[in-house]
Amino acid sequence: MTAQETAIIGVFPQANEAEWRKLVDRALKGGSFDTLVSKTYDAINLVPLYARAQSAGPRAYRRTPGRWSILSRFDHAMPEVANQLALENLEGGTDGLHVVFAGAQGSYGGGLTDDSAETIAIAFNKVRFDFSIPIIIEQSPLAPRATESILRFIDRHHVEPSLTRVSFGYDPIGLQAIHGFLAQPWASTSKHFAENVKQVATKGFKIGAAVADARVIHSAGGTESLELAFALATALAYLRALADNGVSIDEARSLIAFRFAVDADEFLSVAKFRAIRRLWARVEEVCGLQPKPALVSAETAWRMMSRLDPWNNILRGTLATFSAAIGGADTITVLPFTQALGAPDAFAHRLARDTQLVLQDESHLEAVDDPTSGAGSFEALTQELCCRAWDDFQNIEAQGGVSKVLENGTLQGLLAETASLRAKNIARAREKLIGVNEFPDIHEKELHVLSSYDTRWRSLTVPQNALKSPALAPHRLSEPFEALRDASDARLKKVGARPKIFLANLGPIAVFTARANFSKNFFEAGGIEAIFGPETEKNGDIIEAFRKSGAKLACLCSSDRFYADQGEQLARELKQAGAKLYLAGRPDALEQQLHQSGIESFIYVGCDMYEILSDAFDEAK
């Protein structure tokens, strides 16, 4: 120990939880410590401080320790454009490609729309499969010839399969979940699945020949434990299918990979990726196998993407990539920040790959295997997720397996409950989306995309004798607010102006500024442009400014004291001038009086923002 270290220790005594709790109690001023404890959608408590883990759980190692593989999306409908973007991404630093066909689980409206040998030859022109670059294929019912065409392309170029890292990713249960049907009952489908996997494995394409893909659960609003349980049950169904059709258990488990969405919730995302490795290891042990690290892929979440102020998608994607990297993902795909707007251009693809390149080559996140091992919060969350996911997994198995649970709608019911609660929190801005329900930019400029998505490729014709189940359609959290903003944009285009609300500011600027800015953000999140009234204490000036503004709505903004002194009179005068009235804040003692003077709605933190904005938009037109 150096003298300098000794001096610092003397100046800054070692902190402990007891001292920390004293400071917290002082800050709470008699309030309950429970107010600092939050809950996840899985009802897991998140406490503000965790003790150091007494012992670290099993380590979450990548299948191949060290660098993760940086993948880029390969999903443009036109093969020539898809090829150009792919070559630019590979030359720009990505390790491989994430190939998406229209109708695949991760298509989100995009994807290659043709799987013919001719189209595949154009799409993969100059892509060097023999350089052992990782290539993930997302299968789709709309692309039944995709595997055959890709195999033919590889064979035509005399590429030895052992030199490639192509993952054909058969996932019939994932497709059942998203499209709502199986062409045949699972007993028959499982045999067909096993034959497809065996076919590509026999040819030498064993990496990720089958994949348990839980992104559909995430994009449908599910919780982390349900994602894990779905992935685990799906992987087990594939393991059984392969074993029942002549593949040894040891070889079968090596053919199965996992894929998850990763969002901007760092703690839960990291814990989820660590948990799947522990859970799958437990399944391997029960099967009498010595656990081996599974192949786990990550894609930044569709659910968190927004068409509004999409630059924020870059920040969300960066945090998600960070979480997947330290959580131990083997491959990571970052959705370009304009993915929700249409087919991303080269600039958006560049930012997507640079996000990973900076985190890997400059921040060196891959340098430590399982860096959160032993950290109290991550160990606790990982263990909690494992316990809940294992319970959910056992419930799925008790009901006949994951395909049966999808068929009878049990899983969809659980997801609907969570999705409804999540939507409610978004509507009340308890769960904040920057640029959507918080700090909107109503005057944002339109960003460039290569093309709009062709909606004809989003759904499939269900075969006549198919086994049907409720489909789990992917959705984004920002969609309700986007609909309001779309209506505002349409009105601007039609009549040259958006719906407006006049902010009637009472008192000095220091008094009304906070609530006026809150009101501006509140209403502009719904596409209603806020017009600031004058800084004055004269009601006549405010009424005159309201009439000149052309607005049909008005919102009083000030302190509770000014509301008590001047609010009722100003409200009556604005009401007489034809305004529908709102008030920023919730002055409980004055609410009844203010209602009687004309105030129809109060806006405040935690109110049903979406409902109020929907009504206000109709009134403002």
Q: Please indicate, yes or no, if residue 305 is contained in any of the structural domains.
A: yes
Query: Does residue 280 sit within a domain?
Result: yes
**Same domain for 74 and 12:** no
- Ordered DSSP codes for 397-426: HHTT-HHHHHHHTHHHHHHHHHHHHHHHHH
| Structural domain count, the chain | 3
Q: What is the mean pLDDT of residues 19-31?
A: 88
Look at residue 287 and tell me if it is in a domain.
Answer: yes
**Do 27 and 96 have their domain in common?**
no
> What's the pLDDT score for residue 457?
58
Cα 566 to chain centroid, rounded: 46
pLDDT band at 262 (very low <50, low <70, confident <90, very high): very high
Instruction: With cut-offs at 50, 70 and 90, classify the pLDDT of residue 342.
Output: very high
Whether 490 is covered by a domain: the verdict is yes
- Residue 372, burial from CB neighbour count under 10 angstroms (0-12, 13-18, 19+): buried
Task: Strand 134-138: give its sheet, edge to edge.
Answer: 165-167, 134-138, 96-100, 69-74, 331-333, 295-300, 256-262, 210-213
With a CB cutoff of 8 Å and minimum separation 6, the contacts of 486 are 527
The CATH number for 488's domain is 3.40.50.280
Among 426, 455, 472, identify where a domain stops: 426
375: CB partners within 8 A, 6+ apart: 50, 52, 53
Which domain range does residue 21 map to?
A: 3-37
Q: What is the mean pLDDT of residues 419-444?
A: 96
Residue 48 within a domain: no
SS3 content of the chain, % helix, strand, coil (to 5): 50, 15, 35
| Distance between first and last Cα of the chain | 72
| Statement to judge: residues 225 and 286 lie in one domain | yes
Do 267 and 385 share a domain, yes or no? yes
Residues 521, 397, single domain; the answer is no
Note the pTM of the prediction, 2 decimals.
0.93
Give the mean model confidence (pLDDT) for residues 19-48: 90
Q: Are 151 and 259 in a shared domain?
A: yes
287 and 225 in one domain? Answer: yes
Segment 24-29 long-range contacts (CB within 8 Å, at least 24 positions apart):
24/48
Tokens of 535: 């800084």
Amino acid at the residue 301? A
Ramachandran angles phi, psi of 140, nearest 5°: -145, 145
pLDDT of residue 458: 60
Q: Are residues 22 and 127 in the same domain?
A: no
Q: Exposed, middle or buried: residue 290 (CB in 10 Å: 0-12, 13-18, 19+)?
A: exposed
Give the three-class secondary structure for 545. Answer: helix
The model's confidence at residue 53, banded by pLDDT at 50, 70 and 90, is confident
Does any domain span residue 439?
no
Share of the chain above pLDDT 90, in %: 85
| pLDDT of the residue at 1 | 38
The answer to whether residues 74 and 82 touch, using CB atoms and an 8 Å cutoff, is: yes
Residues 606, 489 within the same domain: yes
The DSSP code for 358 is I
pLDDT level of residue 3 (50, 70, 90 thresholds): very low
Return the H-helix or E-strand segment holding 36: none
Same domain, 411 and 512: no
DSSP state of 85: H
Whole-angstrom distance, CA of residue 218 vs CA of residue 223: 7
Determine how β-strand 181-182 pairs with β-strand 467-468.
antiparallel
* Residue 226: CATH number of its domain: 3.20.20.240
Comparing 174-178, 455-459, 461-465, the range with the smallest average pLDDT is 455-459
The per-residue pLDDT for range 397-408, each reduced to its tens digit, is: 999 999 999 999
Three-class secondary structure of residue 296 per DSSP:
strand
| 360 and 245 housed in the same domain | yes
Mean pLDDT within 513-533: 97
Average pLDDT over residues 217-245: 97
Q: Do residues 291 and 281 make contact, with C-beta atoms less than 8 angstroms apart?
A: yes
* Domain membership flag for residue 345: yes
Tokens of 85: 């973007």
Residue 460: pLDDT over 80: no
Q: In whole angstroms, what is the distance from residue 276 CA to residue 273 CA?
A: 6
Which runs of E-coded beta strand occur in 246-398? 256-262, 295-300, 331-333
SS3 225: helix
Q: HEC profile for 549-582? A: HCCCEEEEECCHHHHHHHHHHHHHHHHHCCCEEE
Residues 69-117 pLDDT 10s = 999 999 999 999 999 999 999 999 999 999 999 999 999 989 999 999 9
pLDDT of residue 35: 87
In a shared domain, residues 168 and 218: yes
**Residue 442 in domain:** no
Instruction: Decide if 72 contacts 351 (C-beta within 8 A).
Output: no
